[in-house]
Structure 1
Amino acid sequence: MSLMLDFKCVINPYVVYATERDWGRGSGSGVMSDVLSARFRKCLEVKLELASLLKARRYSSGWEI
């Protein structure tokens, strides 16, 4: 909350952490588990929504990079 107020940052609250268990059966399979896939999809949906809302805004900030 402090970053958003003090530095005008927008933070995506959805973060995906994954371990070996999240990548299917057997090591090196490279296939996401259903749980990981759902978490990753939610994170990307929120990121895309935030990006589209920020792009459509009418103002700009001197803090932007």
Structure 2
Amino acid sequence: MALSTRAGPGGTCAALARFAVPFPIVVAAAALLGWLVHRLAPHVFKRGNGHDGDGGPAPSIPDDALGD
């Protein structure tokens, strides 16, 4: 199950513009929410760097081209 981010940008814009919530508060709330989800439902966040052959798009720059 992947985490959906559809409500994230809209909620952030509403909090910043309509309710005049300071940006650091929005960032802190997002960090707290991420931490809580990680602690209470760790299966929601999948681990990996995106290069594990899960059928996703190929990287723009191959790892071999980057060197050490």
| Richer in helix (by share) | 2
- Tell me whether the two structures share a fold, i.e. TM-score over 0.5: no
**TM-score, normalization by structure 2:** 0.33
Scaled by the length of structure 1, the TM-score of the pair is 0.34
